[in-house]
Amino acid sequence: MKIEVLRIGTRLVRDDRVTTHVTLVSRAFGASKIYMYDANPEIKETISKVNKMWGSDFKVEIIENWKDIIKLKKKESFKIVHLTMYGENIDTVQDEIRKEEKILIIVGAEKVPREAYDMADYNIAIGNQPHSEISALAILLDRILQGQQLQKKYSDSQREIIPTKKGKNVITKNASSSD
């Protein structure tokens, strides 16, 4: 399954950190790309550093018009999944979403415009109470990928965590001759 994420909107002060975390969850939980509308471009640099250190070719693209991305992705046969606490419960649609080949997940910041609801193929709620968009994205990705994303290893990483019961065990891989 190909998964991409679209981040709509920003709330000044708190949102650089939240959008960075939405991006990190997207990367770590199996998405290949995130589109960011009205976001701090420094987030792209941060994720580039994370990719270099920990591996991955996860992409960050700053966009001008979120509606154009949705229209483009629909033409490319993506199904649009909008995360909202007002949508259908994930339990009722997760099996259906797993069958899709390509999805674009819309993650809002502030009040999401009505058009996003209308353009979506699925309006999905992780719960019908106020909650974090970061946790909602992580739960959605985990449900549709059934934990497979947590086993992914990157051959291009400079560091790798070796799971341990206590403490920390991080190995540094040999740097390539081009570094």
103 SS3 class = strand
Q: Would you say domain 2-172 falls under CATH 3.40.1280.10?
A: yes
Choose among 109, 144, 110: nearest CA to 124: 144
Q: How large is the average pLDDT for residues 33-43?
A: 87
106 SS3 class = strand
Model confidence, pTM: 0.86
Q: How large is the average pLDDT for residues 110-115?
A: 86
Ranges of each domain in the chain: 2-172
H or E element: which one contains 54? helix 42-54
Q: How large is the average pLDDT for residues 171-176?
A: 72
Identify the burial level of 86 via C-beta atoms within 10 angstroms of its C-beta, where 0-12 means exposed, 13-18 middle and 19 or more buried: exposed
Exposure of 26 in the CB half-sphere (CA atoms within 13 A)? 30
* Predicted local distance difference test score (pLDDT) of residue 178: 42
